[in-house]
Amino acid sequence: MRRCLCALIIIVFLSMTGCATTNDLRRVHSDLNRQIQVTNEKIASVEQGWSPLRGEIAGVRNEIAKDHEAIQLLRGSQAEGRAEMTDIREQLQQIRGTVDGLRKDLLSAASRTVKREEEEKVLREKLDNLTFRINFIESFLGIGKNEEPAAAPAGKVVKQPAAAPAKETAGKGRTDKESVYAAAYELFKEAKYEKSREAFENFLKQYPGTEFSDNAQFWIGECYYFEKKYEKAIIEYDKVTKNFPGGNKVPYALLKQGLSFLKLGDKASGKLLLQQVTKDYPNTSQARIARAKLLEIK
C-alpha cells in the first residue's frame, strides 16, 4: 500500500512538473498494477488463513449453544426435581396425618373397650343380684325347684315357714297384718326399696313377734342390700340370726351377710360366713351358692 501511494505521488509530481515521459508513466502504471496484484494476493492469503479460524469460531459457537441447551435441560430437571420433592413432602404429611388419625382411633377403641368391660362388669353384678333375688323369692314363695328343707344346726329348733300372705299365698279372709305385710312385700317386688323398707319397719312396730316377723326383718336387710348400703344390710341380716335363730330365713341371712362383706372388700369375714352356711345348712340352695362364691374368692 505504501508503494502504491509512492507511485501515485510520483505520477502526480511528474504531471505537475510536466517532465514525465510516456515510458515513465507506463513503468509507473506497471509497478502500480504489480503492487495491486501483490496486495490482492496477500489479502487472499490472509482470507485463506482466516477460513479455518471461522470454522473454529462457528464450532465454538455451536458448542456454546449446546452447552446452553444442556444448562436449560439441567435447570428443567432441577425444577422437576423440586416439584417432585414438594409432592413427596405433601404425601409424607398426608401419611403422618393418617397415622395420627389411626392412633386416635386406636386410643378411642381402647377407651371403648375399657368402658365396655366396665359396663359388662356392672351388668354381671346386676345379673348376680337378680339371680340371688329370684332364688330367694322362689324359695320364699315355695315355687321353682323342689328342695329339701334346710337342715337346722344341732341344738336349734326349726320354725315352720311363715304362711305367705297377699300374692305370696292365695286365699280370702286376709287379716290386717297379712295385708300390711303383703303391701310392703309388693313394694319390694316393684324395686321401691326405700318405701318397702319403711313399710316392713312399720309392720314390725305394729305386729311384733308374729309368724311374719323374721321374714319382714330379712326383707329390710334385702332392701339395704339392693340399695348397695351393705353396712346397714349386714346389721339387719344379723338381727335375723340373733332375734329369730329358729326361723327359715337364717341361712338366707347368713349367705347375704357374707356376700355383703365381700361387696365391702372384707374377704375374710365373708369367707367365714359362707363356710358357716355350707357347714350348718348343707344340701340347700344357699349352701350351693356359698360354695360357688368360695371358689371365686382368691
- Inside any domain, residue 132: no
- Inside any domain, residue 104: yes
The C-alpha cell that represents 281 in the structure block:
345348712
* Position 19 pLDDT exceeds 60: no
**Number of domains making up the chain:** 2
- Per the prediction, the chain carries an average pLDDT of 78
DSSP of 230-270, one letter per residue?
Answer: HHHHHHHHHHHHHH-TTSTTHHHHHHHHHHHHHHTT-HHHH
The CATH code of the domain that includes 256 is 1.25.40.10
The C-alpha cell that represents 198 in the structure block:
319403711
pLDDT (average), residues 97-102? 85
Cα gap 112→39, rounded to integer Å: 107
Let me know whether 181 and 279 are in one domain.
Answer: yes
Find which of 55-64, 70-79, 127-136, 187-196 is predicted with most confidence, using mean pLDDT. 187-196
Residue 60's domain comprises 1-118
Let me know whether 205 and 153 are in one domain.
Answer: yes
* Position 188 pLDDT exceeds 80: yes
* Position 234 pLDDT exceeds 90: yes
* Position 130 pLDDT exceeds 90: no
- Inside any domain, residue 130: no
The share of the chain scoring above pLDDT 90, in percent, equals 38
Let me know whether 175 and 108 are in one domain.
Answer: no
Let me know whether 157 and 279 are in one domain.
Answer: yes
- Inside any domain, residue 40: yes
- Inside any domain, residue 136: no
Rg (CA), the chain: 62
* Position 54 pLDDT exceeds 50: yes
Let me know whether 241 and 110 are in one domain.
Answer: no
- Inside any domain, residue 254: yes
Let me know whether 161 and 290 are in one domain.
Answer: yes
Let me know whether 73 and 171 are in one domain.
Answer: no
pLDDT value of residue 254: 96
> 50: which residues sit within 8 A by CB, 6+ positions away?
none
- Inside any domain, residue 194: yes
Residue 239 or 83, more confident: 239
What confidence tier does 139 reach under pLDDT thresholds 50, 70, 90?
very low
* Position 161 pLDDT exceeds 70: no
Instruction: Give pLDDT tens digits for 246-257.
Output: 989 999 999 999
Let me know whether 262 and 203 are in one domain.
Answer: yes
